[in-house]
Structure 1
């Protein structure tokens, strides 16, 4: 019974501290008086918990401000002076590593090409010396690496940290990425698929910082999505929530041609576009042909844009987000058409939400999933601060 009471009190403390951290992050800087008003916790609880957060160097007191009667208030904000986060992005053609401060400020980063490498051990061998170097840097600077976040193509088994046959990612099926990295680096590792980490980058460091609902769409060698509702990324029963690339699209070759169905990823990703183009060359050659107004290439691009419009319309109707964020390697080639795409999408949704259709580009661009790996760890700190404070 006593142990159950201790666990209950720890759970309550974790929830209260998490609530405080969320409010500080949402407002960037906030006073204790404002925290009492927003959290409905007592002033004594706020004082005790914020002092503990300060002692663990998770937050700090910042500049004082004066209220209407001239008394000084001390603001609280996140402290960047002690904790580091390491982010790792393992993609289909490259692997990247970043060292970041707690609030997303980049300290160091590196990228290696992995074209043609399908053995996970060979990929990890590229980054292992660099990660050890970053861990050594943190130790020499008397800083603590609070965790390592990994962004990698899914799907995956969150319980075991193993990948489940990710499409277009040969050699990685069943690979125990999380336990392998934890053994090698002796640091807590968090893992998530790259579409969801991209959404988390937006949730914690970008347009979704205030906790708004958003859908992140990443388009490149594949098409994936991350759904954030009430500030949290969603997974679903089998971890398949947000697998938007698997939405079925109807296609036809013109008058009299048979109607066929295929998923958005097979049609609208870079490999799908090249397959429909059937030209000689890679994606850069395709874009050259589009810009030269070669009829077939132009038709393929136009069909790609129509697929994007149809898919975005479906996403709005399915998830009703505050904002849709677009990113990935394909996005820069589609961005010149975004104004027309947004207008077409607005014309297809309910009248009363047309003006609330907001479609934005990813905050971090090509570094989105890498910073998402950092945001993955930061989100765990926000939701489970006793990982930092300890269970005392």
Structure 2
């Protein structure tokens, strides 16, 4: 302990929360053994204290902003009481958020039963900034302009042919984004972030993008960089299944779950994992890439080699199976639509399946068993609360879900329900808005996640 009663921990820069770390201007600040603090030591201690206080302030503002967002309108006194923050600290933090403009005062509330002045209520400013969310995983990409509440101001789709080159794709995206802004009479200064969901894996540090060959024309690294330059804003790139998982967790079928897995079946086959309320990405952003897992049953080994779950049950595999093995009756059903097995799309398959075609019904049943086995393994591994089936295969839910749940009940160590996604094609957009809002809140409050 030092001569003035301060401890060694204080000298090392470890200051209790709320402690006073002011250092005298003179050099007479000495330890019991006569050592004086050097100027450099005092500077370091001041810096550490400033960093500590700045970090605490950022945490407080982030928590306050989140609570106002969730529970508006709310008074300063209610916030202070619920968050256990002193009234003076609450006043300071709220003033900062008011100055920024992300919250606002909206008039007087109800006075306490004991009397006194009516409190001034605080409300979240949903139009503080705006978000453009882009989903590229559909045949016709979806573009949505929304506010910080995720309310849609405008929504458009843009047709892009599969053989379009990157420059054409970039031009279409830029034109669509500009159109969204102009119709809402907004400029790039009003735009907080552009959020994009797409298949594959994107590394935000290197901007390297790993995806199926048919999606390579998007060149996501170049696209994100050029959009940042053109619109002078941050660009967030998220795996499409992860975005949908966050959407269902926040606004859809997973609202009451803490740990869930979202399974997307269709053009690809992947999973989004939510653990303790947070999206789990893994060490290199590749968590949930279950397409590369080994399928159950005879598809596990093909010609002596391990199979691939995605290639066994995705839409491409289904179409190939139809082309190779469809009986004449099934071919006739497609012919009635003006198609042959080589030219069918997923909508054609759905039409014939809904008509009760026995061949397709049998194949969907076989796929359901394979998917059910994969989900059972995931449940046993993660011990989650819920599994949500989404993507294109939601269209098969009336047949798939009973079979998948039967397999799960029979096989999983601790079975949970497998349910259908409730947001349909809006899941990814909802997820992009939720992820973007967190980034904006962190930036406003200078909050750094660890």
TM tier, smaller:
0.7 to 0.9
Equivalent residue for 2:91?
47
Equivalent residue for 2:431?
372
The runs of 4+ residues in structure 1 deviating greater than 6 Å are: 257-260
**Equivalent residue of 2:57, what SS?**
helix
- Give the total of aligned pairs: 382
Cα shift at 1:150? 1.2
Equivalent residue for 1:275?
320
Equivalent residue for 1:266?
311
Please tell me whether the aligned partners of residues 92 and 114 of structure 1 are also in contact (alpha carbons under 8 angstroms).
Answer: no
Q: Which has the larger radius of gyration?
A: 2
Please tell me whether the aligned partners of residues 78 and 103 of structure 1 are also in contact (alpha carbons under 8 angstroms).
Answer: no
Please tell me whether the aligned partners of residues 84 and 99 of structure 1 are also in contact (alpha carbons under 8 angstroms).
Answer: yes
Does 1:251 find its partner at 2:297? yes
Equivalent residue for 1:323?
386
Alignment of 1:105-184 (within 5 A): 105-136=151-182, 140=186, 144-166=190-212, 168-172=214-218, 175-184=221-230
Alignment of 1:69-80 (within 5 A): 76-80=122-126
**Equivalent residue of 1:88, what SS?**
strand
Please tell me whether the aligned partners of residues 389 and 421 of structure 2 are also in contact (alpha carbons under 8 angstroms).
Answer: yes
Structure 2, unpaired ranges of 5+ = 1-43, 327-340
Decide which structure has greater strand share.
1
In 2 relative to 1, CA 52–120 (structure 1 residues): closer, same or farther, beyond 3 Å? Answer: same
1:51-109 Cα offsets, whole Å, 9 max, x none, are: 32233232345583566667756654432233211111222622221100101100001
**Which of 432, 437, 440 is equivalent to 1:381?**
440
Identify the structure with bigger relative contact order (alpha carbons < 8 Å, sequence gap 6+): 1
Separation in 1, partners of 2:97, 2:311: 48
Please tell me whether the aligned partners of residues 261 and 271 of structure 2 are also in contact (alpha carbons under 8 angstroms).
Answer: yes
Cα shift at 1:48? 2.2
Alignment of 1:307-318 (within 5 A): 307-318=370-381
Deviates more, 1:338-347 or 1:82-91: 338-347
**Equivalent residue of 1:94, what SS?**
coil
Equivalent residue for 2:283?
237
**Which of 408, 421, 444 is equivalent to 1:345?**
408
Alignment of 1:27-38 (within 5 A): 27=71, 30-38=74-82
Please tell me whether the aligned partners of residues 138 and 145 of structure 1 are also in contact (alpha carbons under 8 angstroms).
Answer: no
Please tell me whether the aligned partners of residues 30 and 75 of structure 1 are also in contact (alpha carbons under 8 angstroms).
Answer: yes
Separation in 1, partners of 2:423, 2:72: 20
**Which of 303, 310, 334 is equivalent to 2:397?**
334
Does 1:11 find its partner at 2:71? no
Cα shift at 1:138? 5.7
Please tell me whether the aligned partners of residues 267 and 276 of structure 1 are also in contact (alpha carbons under 8 angstroms).
Answer: no
